[in-house]
Amino acid sequence: MYHHLEFEKPISELENKIVDLRKFAEENNIDLNNEVNILTRRLEAMKKEIYSGLNPWQKVRLARLQERPKALDYIQKLFSDFIELHGDRYYGDDGAIIAGIGMLSDIAVTVIAHQKGRDLEENLSRNFGMPHPEGYRKALRLMKQAEKFKRPIITLIDTPGAYCGLEAEERGQGEAIASNLLHLSRLKTPIISIVIGEGGSGGALALGIADRMAMLEHSIYSVISPEGLSSILWKDSSLAQRAADIMKLTAQDLLQLKVIDAIIQEPLGGAHRDIQVVTENMREYLLGELRILSRHSPQVLLDTRYEKIRSIGAWK
Amino acid sequence: MLKDLFNKKSYITINMYEGGRSPISNAIKPEDKLAAHTAKEQKKTERISARVRIRTIIDEGSFQEYDTDLEAWNPLEFPDYPQKLASAMAATDEKEAVITGEGKVLGMGCVIGVMNPSFMMGSMGTVVGEKLTRAIEKAIEKKLPLIIFTASGGARMQEGILSLMQMAKTSAALARLAEEGILYIAVLTDPTTGGVTASFAMLGDIILAEPRALIGFAGPRVIEQTIKQRLPEGFQRSEFLMEKGFVDKIVIRENLKETLAAILKIHSIGGEHNVSSPRI
């Protein structure tokens, strides 16, 4: 069952009212169509108003929502003949990162994605979408393979961040991320990244060096979590909402800061309301941009990618 | 003079440090000096400012600083950031958390970047990223080896996502440097964490570290909170990273200049020269 977020409460109340009214009309055999129509129109207006005016914290909640589609949900719908490939060939296979090959329409692609769990059990095996170094090394191995076979790379980003644990440090979390940043910047094949939920810091960036960078409408991307920032600033992680307000972490903020190239629309209320709509929007974006990128020579591709990364920043 | 330094003194001092682990070579001077060095290497090395560091590494009078006028502003309109910057500037007498430039190490030219741990914890905002990237591009342009001393709490949260992107920027520039076949030496000093570890700190062709420096991706406190247990003694220190295979060599501060010079020298006569000249 879907758990409503607090700001969605007026919507669910009105939705319930409409259901009750319909039921009442049916049971008592009276015509309340007019009333139902009025309320339905009011509901639509209310939805539009609430969802188009979400504040950053509400976006954070939506981006992390359990019901929000995860990478595998999109992969199943976007790519035909998808074959998952496992392991970094050094240490192990990291469930927090999904990697594989498949077809996007008639284009063979390599897909790399963070996978959060859709329930507690899956979350435990996926470590809540927080990769260890071997996850990033698996990603790099398969991205180099993509370059070898001239396949474009599509990455889907959805992680609270790289895992902050003892073993992750022992196996070189910093080195693994750094190495991805360096190599991705020079891969001679088009790369497109889409943040589908939560873009958590370096753990997200390690899959996010791309020729095109897009975010779903209600996704977020930041250098630190709002909880992390508020605990640093005010020694209190419960002030995360206040932190979110000043961080500029929404897709709309990032477009304005020129960190991303595009926002992909979600249906009213968020991706989980209708994954088909989001998938079609993603497909259209990916095919359109791949068409443009495939016309570039490798040198132009690399030079443009470098300039794109190079130009981010602001000083006096 | 340079020859003298290489033939005698510097190689001896480099070996001195290794004395703790490997068999003591004949070149090493009296035992007492070794003991003093061993004691020193076990102690955490004190943090020093970037200015002082440059004085200890770069030959006197040879340093030319790059981009002295680059100053941060407040792109996210983050509360109190301008005040924090102003007080960091006042406290350190520097404009940012990194100094870049070129100079000579025992006569050998290089581009150098040195982070300042006392300027907002050496955090990397867009100016730090930009200065380092420009320095890397200068190294490519002038075909000079690059040395970066890292000391940082990570990305600067006041510049949000723009700080994060500096990891990408510096790494992309280093990828170009690598393609040109130019040497990059990273020297990790206390503390090197977060976004700096996850970018240029870990990308050196050769990675040196000062003894007992804290080096890691996540900070120890964050890890303890995550795994809900105390970390073992020595975790995330230089020695631990060397044991795990992420650091090439630990060098005490007194020997850093000679060690860097030795590495620069070896690379100045490598490559094509080796291939084209007949071997004995």
Question: Which positions in chain A touch B75 (Cβ < 8 Å)?
Answer: 257, 314
Q: Nearest 5°: phi and psi at B146?
A: -120, 135
The residues facing A195 across adjacent strands are A157, A215
Q: How far from each other are the two terminal CA atoms of chain A, in whole angstroms? A: 51
* Type of residue numbered A293: L
B168 has a chain A CB within 8 A of its CB: yes
Query: CA-to-CA distance for B7 and A199, rounded, in angstroms?
Result: 53
A168 has a chain B CB within 8 A of its CB: yes
Shortest alpha-carbon distance between residue A232 and chain B (Å): 10
What pLDDT was estimated at residue B1? 34
Q: What is the per-residue pLDDT across A60-86, written as a single tens digit (0 to 9) for each?
A: 999 999 999 999 999 999 999 999 999
What pLDDT was estimated at residue A4? 76
Chain A interface mutation, best of B165, B221, B226, highest count of A Cβ atoms under 10 Å:
B165
CATH number of A65-310: 3.90.226.10
B116 close to B94: Cβ distance less than 8 angstroms: yes
Are A309 and B169 inside 8 Å of each other by CB? yes
Average pLDDT across chain A, whole number: 95
Per-residue pLDDT of chain B (280 residues; tens, 9 = 90+): 333 333 333 333 333 333 333 333 344 444 454 455 555 555 667 899 999 999 999 999 999 999 999 999 999 999 999 999 999 999 999 999 999 999 999 999 999 999 999 999 999 999 999 999 999 999 999 999 999 999 999 999 999 999 999 999 999 999 999 999 999 999 999 999 999 999 999 999 999 999 999 999 998 988 988 888 899 999 999 999 999 999 999 999 999 999 999 999 999 876 555 555 555 5
Shortest alpha-carbon distance between residue B143 and chain A (Å): 20
For domain B47-276, which architecture applies?
Answer: Alpha-Beta Complex (3.90)
Question: Which positions in chain A touch B202 (Cβ < 8 Å)?
Answer: 172, 174-175, 178-179
Shortest alpha-carbon distance between residue A189 and chain B (Å): 15
What pLDDT was estimated at residue B279? 52
Residue of A nearest to B179 (CA): A186
Are A175 and B130 inside 8 Å of each other by CB? no
What pLDDT was estimated at residue B22? 38
User: How many residues appear in chain A?
Assistant: 316
Ranges of each domain in chain A: 6-53, 65-310
Q: What is the per-residue pLDDT across A218-273, written as a single tens digit (0 to 9) for each?
A: 999 999 999 999 988 888 877 999 999 999 999 999 999 999 999 999 999 999 99
Residue bearing tokens 């409408």 = A217
Residue bearing tokens 């006041």 = B158
| Selection from B72, B63, B42, B241 nearest residue B147 by Cα | B63
B161 has a chain A CB within 8 A of its CB: yes
What pLDDT was estimated at residue B38? 54
Question: Which positions in chain B touch A257 (Cβ < 8 Å)?
Answer: 75, 161-162
Residue A162, pLDDT above cutoff 50: yes
A175 has a chain B CB within 8 A of its CB: yes
Q: What is the per-residue pLDDT across B76-91, written as a single tens digit (0 to 9) for each?
A: 999 999 999 999 999 9
B12 close to B263: Cβ distance less than 8 angstroms: no
Q: What is the per-residue pLDDT across A303-314, written as a single tens digit (0 to 9) for each?
A: 999 999 999 988
What pLDDT was estimated at residue A68? 96
Tokens standing for residue B146: 């690059």
| Selection from B52, B60, B151, B134 nearest residue B93 by Cα | B52
ipTM, two decimals, is 0.94
Q: What is the per-residue pLDDT across A277-292, written as a single tens digit (0 to 9) for each?
A: 999 999 999 999 999 9
Residue of A nearest to B198 (CA): A174
- Under DSSP, is residue B222 helix (H, G, I), strand (E, B) or coil? helix
**Chain pair A-B, CB pairs under 8 angstroms:** 169
B72 has a chain A CB within 8 A of its CB: yes
What pLDDT was estimated at residue B275? 56
Residue of A nearest to B162 (CA): A313
